[in-house]
Structure 1
């Protein structure tokens, strides 16, 4: 079966939307560095969105000065949610604006999001960091922060509308929405213990899909917000890949925690809600996977 790799871009254009989701292309410093096109979401730290209706017209313009670079640094990163091993790696900073009402006055007041990335030739690593008062309610994901990464797959896929296919949820398939594919990693921390590794695991991967029954760090694809599916699962009429699996792993942490070694479930909520501090979300995935239909690149 053909393997799949993260797509590189020959164009030097950087597409950027500085909203609560940030659309960024990764550009190389030298021959060892990789180039990506990707979207960041940070949800749950600001005002909750109750409607899918947008407040008015807005656009997403290219800004060539916005760059996120991922450098070749093997053996540097341990995936545990801690930011200590990222201290010598430069990051890029983005304001967080509500995607449905992205006016400057609605910017998240806690500060900008920092994004860092490196690779070791086999895996790519990301650190997303943002200041925010601690909020955690075990098993209630809508009361906890969530974070996601979204990669462009199809040539016509857009930041706006999560791929931008105009089909309805009852008519979207890999044929009617061809070219609008985006790949998504979504981590909702309501059932995830800080410092523990979540994402791809033998049980869910055995079932041939991108789920995570333990910590809800899932691997998805979409054509628009109404047409989202776990990798390996799709609407009637779409070709599903039986080799699909969750290719992501990740962990989270908050600077208000008074221990460094980790927690057990009985210690939930791990800190007092409302404590000021910083959230850290750390992720990795292989540069090449077996999922050639629903993941990044070809």
Structure 2
């Protein structure tokens, strides 16, 4: 298995915007929209008749958005297309591969080998191409820790909520406002990512893309659960997702106050204080530092 850099991403991944790899206009728009990352799709968003031709378009598309962090979602190995998809798109400008519908370690290991071969073929630094793992089923959730630990290329996971609902035969076209029917699966994926030593996962797409307030509420809920960002299906969701996965001004102000008060208390020989009716110790201070990025 190929050696790869540390899994923690070098930049935020609050917004991962998907678009069909065979839609050149939408790919070019990424230069204007500027999500944290773009994902050019060779899988569900491309008709079967266009999947082979879309590979060359994906390769050209990645090269055309050099200032946007970029991924390509390939087809699942069961289609027989994955290796050729990977070989066609690997290049220095590509940040990673999105591997869909992952349910076992063997799928990850096969993809790791194909990526390594393509890196050698195209003169890309060994191990530099990362993987985002889409977990979309009960089996994927059940084995998520082993899956996410299966390759050092893995950056994190993405929760495929709607395919998961279909797999479990959960009623309804969309999840509820509270998404309580997804609580266990989302929490399990966050825990699995932490246990596997990869970065925080991404939450799944929100299909009601015109319901801004509901979408923002779901982003904030996902951040509270331990997700770092969201898979997006519409450009209008990018600024909302970025906002939803960042600390609010009030959170930042409170964190600064905690650090100031604790520093003064520590200088006086105390390792804990009370602020706003709450106990503040070193664990809370560490969380305040993370909010402020210090």
Q: TM-score range by the shorter chain?
A: under 0.3
Q: TM-score, normalised by structure 2?
A: 0.27
Q: Whose relative contact order is higher, 1 or 2, with alpha carbons under 8 Å and at least 6 apart? A: 1
Q: TM-score, normalised by structure 1?
A: 0.27
Larger Rg: 2
More strand by share: 1
